[in-house]
C-alpha cells in the first residue's frame, strides 16, 4: 500500500466529529468507548486519530480501570513502563498530582527514551480540579511541513539521543524537592537511552514529523551548546500556538492521541487541588527516518523486562 493510499483511509461516517482547533484535535460525540465496539467503529476511531492527531470524548463515566484497559487492547498491545511501578493488578499509568511524579508539565512525546516508543496513549480523567489543569497538544507533522525547505533538508539528516535521565528542572520555574526526588529515585531508577531520527515517517499516513521533546539529551555530532540551540529552534516551531489544541478537562473525559505525531504538556496551574488521571499506552515500533534507517537502543539495563504479565509497571511522565 502506498503512502497516498494510506493517507486516504480516513472514512469516519459512523462518527460525530467536531474539530476543536484549526490544525489539530477533534471531539467525537455520542459514543461510549468500550471493548464491545464493532470493528467498523474501531477502524473509524483509528482513521480519525491519524487525521486529527488527538480525539476528545466527554462523559465516559462507564469506564472502570478494567474497561479502560479492555478498550485500549482493541487499538493494540498494552505495554508497560521500563522503570515506574503501576497500580496493583493493572498496566495503567496513574498521574496523581498529590504524588511526586504526577504533573508532566513540560513538552514531550511519551517514552521516547526507548527505540519502539508508544504509538497511542489513552488518558482518562478520574479526578479533575475545579479550575486549571488543562492539557495542550502540538502537531509535530505540521511543524515539519511548515519548515523552510532548506531547513527540512538539514534536519532530515539529524539524529538525537533521548534519555529518561534528562534535566528535570531545566524548564521549570519552581521545582519541589519531592518531585525531584521522585524523578531521581523512581523514573531514573534505571537509565534508558535511544537514538531516533529527528524527522521520522509516520507508518500509517506517510507524513513526516519532528521527533523531539524534553527527553532529548543531545543531537548526534554536535556539542551541548549547538545541540541546545538547534533543539530550541525546532522545538519552538512545534509549540507555536497556531499548531496546538488546548483541552479543558471534565470528570470522566477520555483523550486519545497519536504519540507518533504529537507532543503534549499538562498545564501546572491548579495549585494543591486534586488531579488524578489514568492512562493506557499502546505499543509502537522503532521510528523510521527519511532514508529508511531506524531508531536504535543506546542504553538499557541488562536485566530489563519491558512487558511481562507478572511485572506491574506503567508509563510515566505524561
pLDDT digits (tens, 9 = 90+) for 134-192: 999 999 999 999 999 999 999 999 999 999 887 544 454 455 555 554 444 444 557 88
Count of other CB atoms within 10 angstroms of residue 212: 28
Residue 271 exposure: Cα atoms within 13 Å on the Cβ side: 4
pLDDT tens for residues 255-289?
999 999 999 999 999 999 999 999 999 999 999 99
178 is catalytic: no
Asked whether residue 105 is domain-assigned, the answer is: yes
Domain count, the chain: 1
| DSSP 8-state code for residue 61 | T
Asked whether residue 237 is domain-assigned, the answer is: yes
**CA dist., res. 75 & res. 314, Å (int):** 17
Asked whether residue 243 is domain-assigned, the answer is: yes
| DSSP 8-state code for residue 89 | T
Reported as a pLDDT band with limits 50, 70 and 90, residue 81 is confident
- Nearest C-alpha neighbor of 247 from the set 38, 1, 18, 93: 18
Reported as a pLDDT band with limits 50, 70 and 90, residue 104 is confident
**CA dist., res. 124 & res. 106, Å (int):** 19
Asked whether residue 76 is domain-assigned, the answer is: yes
**CA dist., res. 108 & res. 213, Å (int):** 4
Asked whether residue 129 is domain-assigned, the answer is: yes
Span 248-253, average pLDDT: 98
| Set 183, 260, 264, 275: catalytic member | 264
183 is catalytic: no
| pTM for the structure as a whole | 0.88
Please enumerate, as own/partner, the contacts of 11-17 that have beta carbons within 8 Å and a separation of 24 or more. Answer: 11/43, 11/44, 11/47, 12/44, 12/47, 12/48, 12/51, 13/44, 14/40, 14/41, 14/44, 15/41, 15/44, 15/45, 15/48, 17/48, 17/52
Least reliable range by pLDDT among 88-92, 116-120, 200-204, 274-278: 88-92
- Nearest C-alpha neighbor of 194 from the set 313, 304, 308: 304
| Set 108, 196, 200, 208: catalytic member | 108
| Set 68, 103, 110, 162: catalytic member | 110
110 is catalytic: yes
3-state DSSP assignment of residue 228: helix
What nine digits make up the cell of 86?
503501576
Beta strands in 70-145 (DSSP E): 84-85, 93-96, 120-127, 135-139
Asked whether residue 40 is domain-assigned, the answer is: yes
Which residues does 239 contact at the CB level (< 8 Å), separation at least 6? 107, 138, 263, 265
Lookup result for grid cell 483523550: 255
Q: Write down the pLDDT at residue 177.
A: 55
Alpha helix positions (H), 22-64: 39-52
Backbone dihedral angles phi then psi of residue 58, each to the nearest 5 degrees: -90, 160
Asked whether residue 23 is domain-assigned, the answer is: yes
Asked whether residue 307 is domain-assigned, the answer is: no
108 is catalytic: yes
Domain harbouring 42, CATH code: 3.60.130.10
Alpha helix positions (H), 188-281: 224-238
CB of 259 closer than 8 Å to CB of 119: yes
Chain centroid, CA 272 distance in Å: 25
Query: What residues make up the domain containing 185?
Result: 3-302
For the sheet with 216-219, list strands across it: 216-219, 159-163, 193-197, 296-299
Amino acid at each position: 500500500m502506498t503512502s497516498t493510499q494510506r493517507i486516504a483511509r480516513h472514512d469516519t461516517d459512523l462518527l460525530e466529529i467536531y474539530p476543536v482547533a484549526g490544525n489539530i484535535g477533534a471531539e467525537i460525540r455520542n459514543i461510549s468507548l468500550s471493548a464491545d465496539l464493532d470493528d467498523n467503529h474501531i477502524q473509524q476511531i483509528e482513521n480519525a486519530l491519524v487525521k486529527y492527531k488527538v480525539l476528545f470524548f466527554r462523559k465516559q463515566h462507564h469506564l472502570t480501570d478494567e474497561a479502560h484497559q479492555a478498550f485500549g487492547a482493541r487499538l493494540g498491545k498494552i505495554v508497560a513502563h521500563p522503570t515506574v511501578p503501576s497500580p496493583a493488578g493493572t498496566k495503567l499509568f496513574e498521574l496523581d498530582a498529590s504524588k511526586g511524579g504526577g504533573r508532566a508539565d513540560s513538552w514531550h512525546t511519551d517514552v521516547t527514551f526507548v527505540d519502539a516508543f508508544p504509538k497511542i496513549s489513552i488518558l482518562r480523567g478520574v479526578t479533575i480540579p475545579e479550575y486549571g489543569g488543562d492539557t495542550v497538544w502540538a502537531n509535530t507533522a505540521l511543524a515539519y511541513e511548515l519548515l523552510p525547505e532548506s531547513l527540512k533538508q538539514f534536519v532530515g539528516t539529524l539524529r538525537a539521543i533521548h534519555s529518561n535521565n534528562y534535566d528535570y528542572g531545566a524548564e521549570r520555574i519552581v521545582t519541589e524537592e519531592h518531585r525531584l526526588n521522585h524523578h531521581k529515585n523512581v523514573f531514573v531508577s534505571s537509565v534508558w537511552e535511544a537514538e531516533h531520527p529527528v524527522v521520522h515517517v509516520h507508518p500509517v499516513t506517510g507524513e513526516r514529523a519532528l521527533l523531539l521533546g524534553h527527553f532529548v539529551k543531545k543531537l548526534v555530532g554536535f556539542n551541548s551548546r549547538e545541540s541546545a540551540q538547534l533543539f530550541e529552534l525546532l522545538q519552538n516551531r512545534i509549540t507555536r500556538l497556531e499548531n496546538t489544541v488546548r483541552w479543558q478537562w471534565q470528570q470522566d473525559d477520555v483523550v486519545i492521541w497519536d504519540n507518533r505525531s504529537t507532543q503534549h504538556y499538562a498545564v501546572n496551574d491548579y495549585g494543591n487541588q486534586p488531579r488524578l488521571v489514568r492512562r493506557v499506552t499502546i505499543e509502537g515500533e522503532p521510528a523510521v527516518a527519511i532514508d529508511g534507517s531506524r531508531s536504535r537502543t543506546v542504553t538499557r539495563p541488562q536485566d530489563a523486562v519491558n512487558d511481562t504479565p507478572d511485572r506491574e509497571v506503567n508509563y510515566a511522565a505524561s
